[in-house]
Amino acid sequence: MSTPARTPRRSGIRGGETASGWLFTAPMIILLGLFLVIPVLMALWVSFSDWNGRGSPFGGTVSFVGLDNYSALVGGGGLAEQDFGTALRNNAWYVLLVVPIQTMLSLLLAVLVNRQILRGRGFFRTAFYFPSVTSSVAITVLWLFLFSASGAVNKLLAFIGVNGPNWFNDPSGVLHNLLGAFGVETGPAALTGNTFLGISFWEWLAGPSVAMSAFILMAVFTTSGTFMLLFIAALQNLSGDVVEAAMMDGANGWQRFWRVTLPQLRPTLFTVLTLGLIGAWQVFDQIYTGTQGGPGKTTLTPAYLSYQAAFTNQAWGQGAAIAFILFVIIVVFTLLQRWLLAERGVSARRMRPYLPIPTSGGSK
C-alpha cells in the first residue's frame, strides 16, 4: 500500500511515524467516534422512528416513520407544534437581546479597563470576569433569590420608587406590557388571527416574558467577562501607529474608536458574535435548574423542550427531531453571520478618496 519510492528515504529519524501518528491520535478518534459521531447517527435514526424508550431503539418493535416527527413539529397543528413554536419564540427573543447587549457591554468593559491611565486594572478585570467561572447552576440559584418577589432587586427598585414585578412568576411579555401601558391590550386581527408554528403573530411579538428577561440579564452578567477578555487581548494586539496617524489627522476620540479601532477588531467581533450566538441558542442549564419552562411556558427553550420530550414524555423521536432542527438553526445563523460580517471589497467610488493624490501637496 505504501509508496515504495518514498518509504526508504523516510526511514531516517522519521521512521515509523505513520504507526505512532495513528497510535497517538487513536484514543481521541475512538472517543470522538464513540461519543460523538455514532451517537449523532443513532439519534438521527431515532428522529425518524417511533421509539418510546422501551427496549433498544434498534430492536424489531421500532419502526421507521419517515418525517412524521419533524412534520408534527412544524405543521402538525397539535400541542407539539405549539410548544415548539413557543420555545422558538422565547429563545429567539433571548438571542435577539442577549447577543447584542453582551457584545456591546463586553466591548465597553474592555475599552474602559484597557485605558493606560487606569490603576487597579487587575481588580476590575477580576471583578468583571469572576461571574464567568462560576457554574450556571450556582448562578441560577443566586438569581432565583435576587429576583424573588421580595428579593434584593425589587428592594432596590422600590428604593427608586419602582414597583418591581414578581420576576420568575410573571409570564407576561415585555413588549405586550409596554403596549399595555399605552392602552393597547389586544392586537389587530391581522396579527391575532394568523398563526405561525401554532402561535399567533401577536404572541410572537409579545417580547421575552418578564421571567425570561431575568434570564437575559443573567446571561449578560455571566458571559460579558469572558468576551471582555477576548476584546482586551485584541486591543492589546493592535499597533498604536494607526490610531496615532488618525490623531495627527485630527480625529477625535469618538471618531478614532468607530472609524479606526473598531474596524480592526472585526475578527474578534466575529468570534464574539459567533460564540454568543451559538451559546444563546443552547439555553438549558438555567431552565432546568430555575423554571422548568414556566411560567406559562414562557421560558421554554428548544434545548429544554427536546430534553423534556425525550426524557419526561418518552417521545424520543420528537425530542431528537427538535435537537436536529436546533442544530440546523445554529449552523444557519452562524453562516448567515459569517456572510454578513465578511470582509467585502471596497467599491471604487468609496475607495477614491484614499487613492494617492496625483499632485504632490497643496491640493487642500
Nearer to other proteins, 123 or 196 (CB): 123
Nearer to other proteins, 201 or 270 (CB): 270
End-to-end C-alpha distance for the chain, whole angstroms: 71
**Cβ distance 318 to 72 under 8 Å?**
yes
Nearer to other proteins, 112 or 184 (CB): 112
Q: Is the dihedral of CA 10, 12, 14, 19 positive or negative?
A: positive
Q: What are phi and psi of 200, to 5 degrees?
A: -70, 160
What does the block give as the cell for 286? 438555567
Which parts of the chain are beta strand (E)? Answer: 195-196, 199-200
Considering only residues 227 to 266 of the shown chain, the ones binding other proteins according to CB under 8 A are 229-230, 233-234
**Angstrom distance (rounded) from CA 136 to CA 362:** 62
**Angstrom distance (rounded) from CA 263 to CA 317:** 46
The answer to the question of residue 341 lying near other proteins (CB under 8 A) is no
Nearer to other proteins, 36 or 175 (CB): 36
Nearer to other proteins, 201 or 288 (CB): 288
Q: Among residues 25, 61, 186, 312, which is the contact residue for other proteins, using CB under 8 A?
A: 25
| Beta carbon of residue 23, minimum distance to other proteins (angstroms, whole number) | 8
Q: What are phi and psi of 209, to 5 degrees?
A: -70, 165
Nearer to other proteins, 86 or 306 (CB): 306
Number of amino acids touching other proteins (CB under 8 A): 100
| Beta carbon of residue 13, minimum distance to other proteins (angstroms, whole number) | 4
Considering only residues 90 to 109 of the shown chain, the ones binding other proteins according to CB under 8 A are 109
| Beta carbon of residue 182, minimum distance to other proteins (angstroms, whole number) | 30
**Angstrom distance (rounded) from CA 79 to CA 73:** 9
The answer to the question of residue 11 lying near other proteins (CB under 8 A) is no
Distant-in-sequence, close-in-space partners of 330: CB < 8 Å, separation ≥ 6: 277, 278, 281, 282
**Angstrom distance (rounded) from CA 185 to CA 178:** 10
The answer to the question of residue 21 lying near other proteins (CB under 8 A) is yes
| Beta carbon of residue 223, minimum distance to other proteins (angstroms, whole number) | 12
Considering only residues 105 to 144 of the shown chain, the ones binding other proteins according to CB under 8 A are 109, 112-113, 115, 117-118, 122-131, 133-142, 144
| Beta carbon of residue 296, minimum distance to other proteins (angstroms, whole number) | 17
- Composition of the chain by helix, strand, coil, percent to 5: 65, 0, 30
Nearer to other proteins, 36 or 336 (CB): 36
Nearest one of 301, 318, 326, 312 to 67, comparing CA atoms: 318
Considering only residues 262 to 321 of the shown chain, the ones binding other proteins according to CB under 8 A are 267, 270-271, 275, 278, 281-282, 284-285, 288-290, 292, 303, 306-307, 310-311, 316, 319-320
Considering only residues 34 to 93 of the shown chain, the ones binding other proteins according to CB under 8 A are 34-40, 42-43, 46, 56-58
Nearest one of 84, 97, 62, 74 to 216, comparing CA atoms: 97
Nearer to other proteins, 56 or 360 (CB): 56
**Cβ distance 69 to 317 under 8 Å?**
yes
Considering only residues 184 to 203 of the shown chain, the ones binding other proteins according to CB under 8 A are none
361 Rama class: left (phi>0) / alpha (psi -120 to 50) / beta: left
| Beta carbon of residue 205, minimum distance to other proteins (angstroms, whole number) | 26
Nearer to other proteins, 156 or 351 (CB): 156
Q: Among residues 327, 332, 338, 357, which is the contact residue for other proteins, using CB under 8 A?
A: 327
